[in-house]
Amino acid sequence: MNDSDSIDEPTDELFAPIRTYLQGRLDAEDLHLDDFARIAVGWSHETFLFDARWTDEGATKTMPLCVRRDPGNALVREMSDLTEQFKVLRALEKTDIPSPKAYWLEDDPSILGGTFIVMEKVDGVCPNPWGRDGRTFYEDAAARGVLPNSFTDALAAIHNADWRAAGLDFLGVPGPGQDFVLAEIAKWETLIEAAEHPAEPVLTDLIGWLKANAPSTDRLSLVHGAYRTGNMLVDHDRVSAVLDWELQVIGDPMYDVSYVLSDLNRQGSDLLSYLVERDAFIERYEAATGITVNLDACRYYDLLYAMRSCAFWMSASGLFMSDQNTDLRLARTAFSVPVVLDLAARHLGY
């Protein structure tokens, strides 16, 4: 008998339903979920990690697993459904992008109370770059020099992926010209409208400027949409899995590059994402992809990210104000809106 058999079962209310579900899936009556933990990350879907262990024809089998569940009141829930995530993860298995294998998708709410997916638990850690410990982790890794290259290579793998062959065109393929950018603006405008936040004239100005100055997109790639440290697992100084496949689109690869270059993800640090030197990133990225970094486009997308940030914070505080989520951290985000708008206004020259 394994030691963990004698330990009390976790008190989490979803432990028993998850085990019951997996007993059926794995045909494992004696199933144990070792090291079961609900991890607190972000305000999106709930995440549970554990090692499934059972006996099959006298042999012990193990399977490291991750369950992600839609709690029904997640941030940006309108544009981040688990069904799409599951399809994306399945498609990514046909590419060189490091990502977890997706095993099962369930949309029957009677099982866990909401849609959920079961996927591989990949080895690695995901330090939070906004905390002191996380920043130290990435800056130490930067000094060793391996992880910065892996970070850049994983982004190159995303942009080099043959998304049509992988079946990712279900994400929607923009037409030529400004189609990608205008669709992206429209998507975030929808979130802003749904948040029912009081009018912000600086944001109206920003959106007007973005529409009036939308660049053309001449190359389409799979775009992660939030590529930074904290959205990936790191194992032995390498990116073992790119996570948070929630905002991906088919679009301009500069959209991701801009996010990497953005000051938003490296406050107080010279290192992009607290990890990568800017020149080294650009040089390695261009060599790995054959794509020349377009800094004008990146500056434009930086402002689009400001709009996105406003949409996030408005949506977050809107969840609180509409009683859909009582977490006061969401209420506090209303005060982040003017901070982002200040950055945008300065970009626009006032």
Partner 1 sequence: MFAPEEYLDRIASKLRSEIGPAITDDYARTQAFMASVILERVSRQITAGFDSEQTELDEMRLRLAPQIGDDPELSALSAVATDDTGLSLLVESMYQARDRLGQDRFDQALGEVRTTLRLRLDRSLMIAEGKAS
Burial 334-346 (b: 16+ CB within 10 A, else e): bebbeebbebbbe
The binder of partner 1 chosen from 57, 59, 212, 218 (CB under 8 A):
212
| Contact track, partner 1, 232-271, x by CB under 8 A | ----------------------------------------
Nearer to partner 1, 161 or 203 (CB): 203
* Residue 59 lies near partner 1 (rule: CB under 8 A): no
| Contact track, partner 1, 105-124, x by CB under 8 A | --------------------
Closest CA to 296 of 263, 336, 325, 254: 254
Residue 142: count other Cβ atoms within 10 Å of its Cβ: 22
Read off the DSSP letter of residue 350.
-
* Residue 205 lies near partner 1 (rule: CB under 8 A): yes
The binder of partner 1 chosen from 2, 190, 204, 216 (CB under 8 A):
204
- Residues in the interface with partner 1 (CB under 8 A) total 28
| Three-state DSSP class for residue 346 | helix
Closest CA to 334 of 313, 320, 319: 313
* Residue 1 lies near partner 1 (rule: CB under 8 A): no
| Contact track, partner 1, 65-104, x by CB under 8 A | ----------------------------------------
Q: Do residues 64 and 45 lie in contact, with contact meaning Cβ atoms separated by under 8 Å?
A: no
Q: Do residues 53 and 61 lie in contact, with contact meaning Cβ atoms separated by under 8 Å?
A: yes
Task: Please choose, out of 131-139, 151-159, 194-202, 233-241, the segment that lies near partner 1 by the rule CB under 8 A.
Answer: 194-202
Q: Six-digit token pair at 21?
A: 């579900």
